[in-house]
């Protein structure tokens, strides 16, 4: 501790400016590391969601196609047009409902980079000093 005080007294203003620069650089580096970590986490999360969504959509689509073919074949001799029409209307209604749900989910997602924003807000408040 005495050595630092001696350096500060010996270096004066130049030492203080250099120390402030190192502190600011360290804080900026930490904030960039937090941002990079959050960015990587968001990328991985989106990749996982996309892969799961694609696999689910493929399986669901195959199941739907096979069900439609089965129903139309079953009613082929009697009501094939009615069966196809009802199935088409049902799928259009389900698609509209899922689109509405997707819109709501997309709007409700958390704000990205919340930790980085929080740390920058803390830094800003600390630099402003105590408010009277």
Identify the domain containing residue 8 by its residue range: 2-128
Cα–Cα nearest to 93, from 101, 82, 103: 101
Cβ atoms of 112 and 38 within 8 Å: the answer is yes
100-128 as b/e: b if 16+ CB within 10 A: eeeeeeeeeeeeebeebeebeeeeeeeee
Q: Give tens-digit pLDDT for 112-130.
A: 777 777 877 887 777 777 6
Q: Give tens-digit pLDDT for 41-83.
A: 888 888 888 898 888 888 888 988 898 888 889 888 998 888 8
């Amino acid at each position: 501790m005495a050595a630092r005080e001696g350096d500060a007294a010996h270096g004066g203003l130049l030492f203080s400016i250099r120390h402030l620069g190192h502190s600011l650089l360290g804080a900026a580096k930490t904030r960039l590391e937090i941002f990079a970590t959050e960015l990587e986490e968001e990328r991985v999360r989106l990749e996982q969601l996309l892969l799961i969504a694609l696999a689910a959509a493929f399986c669901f689509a195959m199941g739907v196609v096979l069900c439609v073919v089965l129903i139309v074949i079953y009613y082929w001799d009697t009501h094939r047009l009615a069966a196809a029409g009802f199935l088409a209307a049902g799928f259009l209604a389900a698609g509209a409902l899922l689109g509405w749900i997707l819109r709501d989910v997309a709007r409700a997602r958390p704000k990205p980079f919340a930790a980085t924003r929080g740390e920058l807000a803390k830094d800003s408040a600390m630099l402003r000093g105590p408010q009277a």
